[in-house]
Amino acid sequence: MPRSSRLILASASPRRRELLGQLGIPFDVVVADVTEHEDPDTDPRAMVAHNAALKADWVAARFPDSVVLGADTTVFLDGMAINKPGDLEQARSMLRRLSGREHTVYTGVAVRRISIGLRIDQGVSSQVEFKPFGEAVIEEYVRLVNTLDKAGAYSIQEHTEMIVAGYRGSFSNIMGLPMEATKQILTGSVLLG
């Protein structure tokens, strides 16, 4: 149960916890008990916006005086969203698809504070280019990185040199929480001001 914190992160993601912690403000974590929409054929921007709002709304309804931050991230390639893999074989398959290609990472950010009617939704995108790599690199990567809890089956900050050729846009967005946009939203919501 959160203490009387002014900020709650509505996410189970350790990467989002780590990133939000960099702002130096106290926050609690409350994981929303929701079923996320993950249809790979859905527009990725709409999907992450929907899921971020779903998480933020669920938690905000229970803590109306707190500022609640929800976020959702997906990888987009060839007209399809690539979410978290269900097993290691799916992770390998995703990495094969991404090898030697450029893809887009979309994150939806939702901030709520019901007591004052605060409702902010924002989307951020970044581009990531993968090196071409084969089965040996894929096997080594899935051995070194927990690929099952990450959209696209990879982590931009872990063993980057093995798979990533470069990126454009927000690095923290690729990790799962665009810190530049998040800080701006939270500052605007008088949380950090």
CATH code (residue 151): 3.90.950.10
For residue 103, give both structure tokens: 């893809």
| Residues assigned a catalytic role | 72
Output the CA torsion 154→160→161→164 (10° steps).
60
> What are the residues whose beta carbons fall under 8 Å from the beta carbon of 188, sequence distance 6 or more?
120
In a domain, 84, yes or no: yes
Tens digits of residue pLDDT in 107-140: 999 999 999 999 999 999 999 999 999 999 999 9
The 10s digit of each residue's pLDDT in 146-186 is 999 899 999 999 999 999 999 999 999 999 999 999 999 98
State residue 163 phi and psi, 5-degree precision: -130, -25
User: Is 1 a member of any domain?
Assistant: no
**Reported confidence tier of residue 25, pLDDT bands at 50, 70, 90:** confident
In a domain, 59, yes or no: yes
Establish if 55 belongs to a structural domain.
yes
Confidence of residue 1 (pLDDT cuts 50, 70, 90): very low
Number of domains in the chain: 1
- pLDDT, one tens digit per residue, over 31-66 is 999 999 888 788 999 999 999 999 999 999 999 999
Domain containing 142: what range? 7-188
Please report whether residue 21 resides in a domain.
yes
pTM for the structure as a whole: 0.91
Which residue type sits at 68?
Answer: V
